[in-house]
Amino acid sequence: MSNIKLIAIDVDGTLLDSKHQLTQPVIDAITEARSKGIYVVIATGRPLPGIKPFLEQLNYNSPNEYAITYNGSLVQEIATGKALVQYELSKDDYAYVDQVTRDFGTYYHAIDADHIYTSLEDMSWYTSRESYLVRMPIRYRALEAIPDDKNFTKMMVIDTKEGLDAFIASLDDTFTTRFNTLRSEDYYLEILNPKASKGHALKSLAEHLGLEPDEVMALGDNENDLDMIQYAGYGVAMANSNPIVLKEANFITGSNDEAGVAQAIRKFALEE
């Protein structure tokens, strides 16, 4: 009998296929796991509004259901939005990133629970893309108009792959020790509180539920999934994963276009 009691699943490249859709085999496997009392937790870089359509498809509407959002900056109750774990960034952090990105000549934005903020009049196309994906409106605010006590859940540096490669190569130790930085896509560099990561969030949630790592399975495909895959007793990489993730995972399942999430749930949690 499987000892898995908690499954954490990344969204883009993992839960969703290459058309950004949930497929029926994945829905069925998650539904069956939940019916057997297994916690199935979505672990994403998106905010809660950005995964609401998928939660509705999966029929998440009961108490004691959780999501890891903003790449581990928040662990939330789905029904209420209440935070169990929360790591934020300050107005000073925002001002620092504003200066660094302006000096380099690239783009950025910041996100709180409800909005995407930018102080760039010539905002990036990638900010508009993010707004569409996560279903959050954009607010242009000059730096001096942002209240000093304003907190953000995460910031993102956004550029072409080549532009972001160059920006990352330019960063000094001051930047990389001040923040936890994760590259979630070729054109997105996530900037988080140094305590925030999917792995830390998953560990906190497991402890809240009284679970040990060997009772946890985590599935992902990219570098921002790496530490939760390393934490879990069953660390599973999608076949379409970044090579680093493939190397570090305990197991490899099918790709996101092969319902790899369903394959892993049925093999390890449902033991079919």
Residue 172: count of CB within 10 angstroms of its CB: 8
Q: For all residues of the chain together, what is the average pLDDT?
A: 94
Helix axis angle, 161-170 relative to 91-104, nearest 10°? 110
Question: Percentage of the chain with pLDDT > 70?
Answer: 100
What are the C-alpha distances in Å from 86 to residues 18, 77, 147? Answer: 30, 12, 20
pLDDT of residue 193: 96
10 included as an active-site residue: yes
Give pLDDT tens digits for 173-190.
999 999 999 888 888 999
In the predicted structure, residue 50 carries a pLDDT above the cut 90: no
> pTM of the prediction?
0.84
pLDDT of residue 1: 61
Instruction: Please work out, in degrees rounded to the nearest 5, the angle formed at the alpha carbon of residue 114 by the alpha carbons of 92 and 104.
Output: 40
What are the C-alpha distances in Å from 232 to residues 32, 160, 193, 215, 227? Answer: 21, 33, 22, 8, 9
Per-residue b or e along 205-237, where b marks 16 or more CB atoms closer than 10 Å to that residue's CB: bbeeeebebebbbbbbbbbbbbbbbebbbbbbb
In the predicted structure, residue 75 carries a pLDDT above the cut 70: yes
Instruction: Please work out, in degrees rounded to the nearest 5, the angle formed at the alpha carbon of residue 68 by the alpha carbons of 112 and 188.
Output: 60
In the predicted structure, residue 116 carries a pLDDT above the cut 70: yes
Options 10, 12, 221, 227, the catalytic residue: 10
Mean pLDDT of 118-144: 89
Burial class of residue 26 (count of CB atoms within 10 Å of its CB; 0-12, 13-18, 19+):
buried
